[in-house]
Amino acid sequence: MYNGLKVIDFHVHFPTRREWFMGPGPNPRQQYADRVGERRARVAREFAMSYNRQWRATWGFEGPERGSYSDEEQADRWAEEVRRYGLRAVGFVTGGGNKNLASIIKRHPDIFVGFAHNYLFDEGAADEVRRAVREDGMKAYKLLAPSLDRPVEDEAAYPVWEACAELGIPVLIHFGIQGSGGGIAWHQNINPLKLHNVAKDFPDVTFVVPHFGCAWIRETLQLCWACGNVCIDTSGSNQWVKWVDGEWDTKKLFRKYMETIGPERIIFGTDSSYFPRGFAEPYIKQQIRDVRELNYREADIQLIFGGNAARLFNIEL
C-alpha cells in the first residue's frame, strides 16, 4: 500500500474504557481537580479543548465516538484497521493494565504487540514486568515520565531496568510536554536528559524517546549522542513544533535526526488510539512524503517504517 513498505506502527494506545494511568492514587487529571476544585478544572479543560478542536480540524479528524464498545469489539476493530491499511503489526503501548492488554493481544497475536505498562516504583514492579513478558507475551515496556511521582533516575527503579536487560525488551519512555494543548509542560521528569544516567548504567537496554523528543529537541539529541542505546520514535501530530524556537516541521526533524543518529535509531509510530479516527493515516502519508523528498535510501526508509520495530519486537517483518 505504501509503495511496497512493510509497516509496523510502534506506538498505538488501545482504546479501552479501563483506567490507562498506572501509578499510585488517582490519575493526574483527577489529582488536579481534587487540588484546584471542579470549577477551575473545567476552565482549564476548556482551554485544552480549544487546542484539541484546532488539532482535529487541521488533520480532518472527527472527535472520539460516544458509543460504548467492549475491549473485544475494539480489538476486532483495530485488527480490521491493520488489515485495511496493510500494516504488518501495531504495538499497543497501553491497554488498561498488563492482564487486560494480554487478553487483547491474544485475540490477534499475529498483528498485535503489547507493552507492559505497570507503575515503575511499585514493590515487585520488576517481577511484574518479568511476568508480563513471560506469561502474557509482552515484548516491551512503556512509561510516561511526567506522570511519575518520583525521579525517573531514582535507583529504586533499577530492578526494573535489570529485568528489561535480562528479558531483552525495549523501553519506551515519554518525556517532554505530555498530552495535547493544555497538557503538562513542566515536571521533574520533563527533560529527556533525566534518562542519561539510567541509559549509561544499562547500555544493553534500548530506550526509545517518542515524538522526536516532544519539544526537547536539543536535549534529546544530546542524550542520543551520549547514549548509543537511545532511539526516537516519530509518533503523533508533532504539533509541539509550534511551541519551540525556530521553524520546525517533521521534515526538518527527520533531517536532523538522520544526520545525528542515522536510520537504525528512528522508529515510525502514529500515537493512534480512538475511533472513528482509528489508524492516523495522514501521519504516515506526511512522514513518507518527508523522507522521500529528503531522498532517503529505500533500505533506510524500510528500517524506519518497519525494520527497526521488527528487530526490537523480535518479530518477522
CATH assignment at residue 148:
3.20.20.140
**C-beta of residue 278 within 8 angstroms of C-beta of residue 77:** yes
Query: pTM (2 decimals)?
Result: 0.97
Mean pLDDT of 259-276: 98
pLDDT at 184 over 80: yes
Which domain, by its residues, includes 153? 8-313
Task: Answer whether residue 194 shows pLDDT above 70.
Answer: yes
pLDDT at residue 28, rounded to an integer: 79
Tell me what pLDDT residue 21 has.
67
Kindly tell me if the per-residue pLDDT of 262 is higher than 80.
yes
| Confidence check: pLDDT of 217 > 90 | yes
Is residue 118 over pLDDT 70? yes
Which three three-digit cell numbers place residue 44?
Answer: 482549564
How many domains in the chain? 1
Hunting for cell 513518507 — which residue is that? 288
User: Is 37 a domain residue?
Assistant: yes
**What is the three-state SS of 230-274?**
EEEECCCCCHHHHHCCCCCCHHHHHHHHHHHHCHHHEECCCCECC
Residue 1 forms part of a structural domain: no
Please check whether residue 3 lies inside any domain of the structure: no
Mean pLDDT rounded to a whole number for the chain? 95
Question: Which set of grid coordinates corresponds to residue 64?
Answer: 472520539
Residues 6+ apart with CB under 8 A from 160: 120, 125, 126, 129, 141
36-50, 216-230, 274-288: least confidently modelled range: 36-50
* 206 within a domain of the structure (yes/no): yes
Structural domain includes residue 2:
no
What is the Rg, in whole angstroms, of the alpha carbon atoms belonging to the chain?
Answer: 18
